A and B are shown apart, each in its own frame.
Chain A
Amino acid sequence: MRTLAIETATPASSVAIGDGADLRAMSVNVDSRGHVGFLIPAIDFCLNQAGWEPSDIELVAVDIGPGPYTGLRAGIATAQAFAAAVGAQMAPVSSLTVIALRAATGRRRIWPVVDMRRGLVAVAPYRPLPGGVAPDGSPEVVNPQDFKALLESEPSESLVVGDWQALPETTWTGMHRVRRGRPRYPSAETLIEIADMRQRLDKLAGPGDVRPMYMREPDVQINWKSFRSEGAWPSD
């Protein structure tokens, strides 16, 4: 299937198009604030490279997070609108899965990391399989201490990939069975590959099934502290 992949879950956004699992064109941008301005010109560039029209796209793959929200939403809105306009199917994919699939390992359990800011990271365990990975537990949002405890309780050796540079150096002290590796960010190229697998497994979605994976309650700040919440009158 002719596939468009949109990746905006981390500071590195990217767009790719592929025919089945074959990558045809790709564009990358490392600027956490440039998503909305970057995406459509990048898609346009990729389609031109392949000599395709937007209406040639049959499948839109998109990273649904976890990741910083504004970019994530811009990517999802772009993907949904594209799919709705040209009548394409969709493949929503977790950023953690995209990172884990690119991690090269034979036997170590893989822990992809996405920086959620405010000292928190999203993590999830994956088991390596021949030609792929399989989730081996639920994703969680944790602080560095909790992540360290998770890794320490691992029965076997593990490989931490993704944006582990977002964690303090002390996370790794004494962690002899933990290795750190690449990639740092998810990439649209991997999304093309995953979308192809999903298609083979007959596991595609409609645009209505695609929503962001936040994993955190919204930050709520109302700047009205000087006002009493109970009101001037006794409650009636």
Chain B
Amino acid sequence: MSGPLILGIETSCDETGVAVLEGLEVRSSVLASQVEEHARFGGVVPEVAARAHVEAIRPLAHQALTRAGVHPDQLDAVAVTRGPGLSGALSVGYAYAKSFAYSLGKPLYGIDHMEGHLFAPRLSFPGYEPPAVVLLASGGHSQIVHVKAWGAYEILGGTIDDAAGEAFDKLARFMGLGFPGGPAIDADSVGGDPDAVKFPRAVRDRPFDFSFSGLKTSVITYLEKARENDSLPPRSDISASIQEAIVDVLIEKTFNAVEATGVEIVGAGGGVLANRRLREKLIERAESKGVGLFIPEPSLCLDNGAMIAGVAIEKLNQGAAPDALTLDVDPGMTLA
């Protein structure tokens, strides 16, 4: 395989990711996770994230290039997340990427983080091509997107309040399960009965939107009452029931979108896709509906530099103009 050599940098939230792509082949992809630093606080702290990025960015960029066996002069472009995300975190990666590109005389492409997630399955599966419906679920975002073509997106729906990963985090915290909540609840649910408690799911009248505040309230009310009555069920039953409720909502809304658009391809990305129950049920539902399902490997589901470089390759193919030197980050960037 061959194609342009792109350095991709991602620092929008709590992972520093740097990768080198040659065409759609990932030559190297390295990541510094800050999970442990944020676990002390029970959530992502913007200032802590920005501090960790500035520590990690230079060694990671060096490592990604070395592992790929690529000299900076050989690069065709530098790609970096410009938004959406935490502004202090974004500005570390954006400043680094811009300076690196400028001093090497290479073009810089500022990429929408969400577009990176939408593109990520393409790096694992050549058959993943638009039109598709993509479920994005992580601690920072929950969206259902209709990818009509690369660069042409319609956000069909998303969360009205918390992101799916955030709902996991908050509920895990309430249950004393630690951070991040998704993996904690996933692990705790083993052997639990997912039908033990039927927690609420639907947002009425909005086929592609979801909300997790009702679930949160319901779980808290249920547990407080149970504690008062000294009738707390096994914790694994509650974990399994919470997980089932969140997973059901994500699946239902995704496949509502598949039906409405008539697409035959479903993609998925974001940290919540590491959840085993969600993967299981997505596979089940895709099979029964006869649509192709593309969930990339976990390292490409999480925030990473490869997906950002991937979008830049698509931009190069389309002859898109690089970022002006005067541009700054755009924390509120939106896809469509």
Cβ of A167 < 8 Å from any Cβ of B? no
Of the candidate stretches B100-108, B126-134, B260-268, the one touching chain A is B100-108
**CB pair B94 A36 closer than 8 Å:** yes
**CB pair A233 B102 closer than 8 Å:** no
Cβ of A201 < 8 Å from any Cβ of B? no
Determine the chain A residues whose CB is within 8 A of the CB of B96 once the complex forms: 77-78, 80-81
Our count of residue pairs bridging A and B at CB distance below 8 angstroms stands at 145
Chain B nearest CB from A39 CB (Å) reads 7
B56-90, CB < 8 A from A: 57-59, 61-62, 72, 87-88
**CB pair A220 B95 closer than 8 Å:** no
CA distance A54 to B58 in the complex (A): 18
Chain A nearest CB from B232 CB (Å) reads 7
Determine the chain A residues whose CB is within 8 A of the CB of B51 once the complex forms: 69, 73, 212, 214, 218
How many chain B residues sit at the interface, stated as a range, is 35 or more
Task: Determine the residue in chain B with the shortest Cβ distance to A231.
Answer: B176
Task: Determine the residue in chain B with the shortest Cβ distance to A43.
Answer: B102
How many chain A residues sit at the interface, stated as a range, is 35 or more
Complex partner residue of B61 from A36, A39, A84, CB under 8 angstroms: A84
Report which A residues bind B (CB closer than 8 A). 34-37, 39-41, 43-44, 54-55, 57, 69-70, 73-82, 84-86, 207-208, 211-212, 214, 218-222, 224, 227-233, 235
Nearest first, the 5 closest Cβ-Cβ pairs linking A and B are: A231-B176, A81-B99, A218-B47, A54-B103, A81-B100
17 further interface pairs, Cβ-Cβ under 8 Å (given A54-B102, A214-B51): A35-B95, A40-B99, A43-B99, A43-B102, A74-B95, A77-B92, A78-B96, A80-B58, A81-B58, A81-B96, A86-B103, A220-B47, A221-B45, A224-B170, A224-B173, A230-B176, A232-B224
Report which B residues bind A (CB closer than 8 A). 41-43, 45, 47-48, 50-51, 53-55, 57-59, 61-62, 72, 87-88, 91-100, 102-105, 170, 173-177, 223-224, 227, 232, 235, 325-329
